Every structure is written in C-alpha cells, then in structure tokens.
Amino acid sequence: MEQFAPVKRAKDGQPIRYLVVDDSVFARKNLARIIGTFGGQVAGEAGDGVTAITEYERIKPDIVLMDITMPQMEGIEAAEKIVVQHPEARIVMVSSVGYQENIVAALQRGARHFVQKPVKPEVLYEVIKYVLGDDATVASAAGAGV
C-alpha cells in the first residue's frame, strides 16, 4: 500500500489520533491500515454510534472516522451528539451511501467532511489534511518511517 508523508499534530509533533467507527470489523481494519500509511494512530474503535460517543469521551481523538449505517445508533445521530458536547470535534463521515441528502444531513449535524466507500487512500489523506487545517503539519516524505 502506498505510503504518504506523515501528518502530525502541529502542537506537539505527535501522530494524529483517530477514533474509527464502523460496524464492520473488516472496514475498521481497512481504515486502520490506511491510517497507518498516513503516520496516524488508531486510538480507539467502535462498532456503533452509542459506543462511539463513550469512546470519544474517553480518548478525545483528533479525528473521528464515522460510518453512517450502523446498528443501535446511526453515524449521523452519533456525530450530532458528539458535536453538541464537543463543538471542536472533527468528524469525517465514511459511508458507501453517498447521495446528496445524506451528505448534507451529515454536514448540517456537525460532520466536517464526507468520504465515500470504497475508500481511496489518496482521497482520505487530502480530506484529513483539509479538516485538520493549521492544527496539523505534514512531515517531509523523507522523514516517513523515522
């Protein structure tokens, strides 16, 4: 899998910490593998919206990657509940259902961006950099793996 120039936290140079939320173990593993190529760290995982909220409170990640269609509580509702409590939360919806109404609903309820499955690593990489903005720095490619 392609390696990308590592994205680090600007404030302390540490890896970006991710919370990965998807009811599919396969999807979570796949995202974890992609995150690794960005130099990121999976700080937590959740398989439904309810667990995502408690995990967010526990680990305070830099980024949440959130599926939409999940049992118990769907991703858009979970995103809204997290953002109400933590307006600074950066949540990127990752779903195979990418029609306009879904995207608009997610953005209106607090998500920062949307990526459609199957996830293309180069697309997610650009979205992560965009969402983090000045709170992230991109190390030179030569520094990758150091």
Contact 107, 85 (CB under 8 A): no
Q: Interacting stretch for another protein, rule CB under 8 A, among 3-11, 29-37, 50-58, 135-143?
A: 29-37
24 touching another protein, by CB under 8 A: yes
Residue closer to another protein by CB (options 7, 27) is 27
26 touching another protein, by CB under 8 A: yes
* 119-143: b (≥16 Cβ within 10 Å) or e: bebeebbebbbebbeeebebeeeee
Q: How far is CA 20 from the centre of its chain?
A: 6
Q: What are 36's two structure tokens?
A: 């690794």
Burial of 52 (0-12, 13-18, 19+ CB in 10 A): buried
Q: Interacting stretch for another protein, rule CB under 8 A, among 2-10, 67-75, 76-84, 130-138?
A: 67-75
Least distance CB 117 / another protein (angstroms): 5
Number of residues binding to another protein, judged by CB under 8 A:
21
Q: Interacting stretch for another protein, rule CB under 8 A, among 27-35, 53-61, 77-85, 128-136?
A: 27-35
41 touching another protein, by CB under 8 A: no
